[in-house]
């Protein structure tokens, strides 16, 4: 099991990186994914369109859209 720092990278609709003040680090992938499940609407409202899950700076998966499926 990994002890890395888990973070989210955020992009807008144009694929540009979005820097969020107070971006969080999480102790596990599960914690990061749970947080996103609670906060995705707020992120969408602040201009985030897609997210990437990162562990110690390495992309684990993404892009993942925050927009509801049509």
Domain boundaries, the chain: 6-65
Query: What phi, psi does 64 have (nearest 5°)?
Result: -125, 120
User: How many residues in the chain?
Assistant: 70
The Cα 19–Cα 68 span in angstroms is 22
* Tens digits of residue pLDDT in 13-40: 999 999 987 778 999 999 999 999 999 9
Res. 1: pLDDT tops 90:
no
| pTM score above 0.85 | yes
| Helix/strand/coil (H/E/C) assignment for every residue in the chain | CCCCCEEEEEECCCCCEECCCCCCCECCHHHHHHHHHHHHHHHHHCCCCEEEEEECCEEEEEEEECCCCC
pLDDT of res. 23: 76
Q: What is the percent of the chain with per-residue pLDDT over 90, rounded to a whole number?
A: 81
User: Using 50, 70 and 90 to split pLDDT, how confident is the model at 2?
Assistant: low
């Amino acid at each position: 099991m990994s002890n890395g720092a888990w973070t989210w990278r955020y992009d807008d609709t144009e694929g540009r990186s979005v820097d969020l003040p107070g971006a969080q680090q999480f102790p596990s992938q599960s914690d990061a994914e749970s947080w996103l499940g609670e906060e995705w609407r707020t992120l969408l409202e602040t201009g985030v369109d897609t997210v990437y899950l990162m562990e110690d700076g390495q992309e684990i998966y993404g892009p993942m859209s925050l927009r509801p499926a049509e």
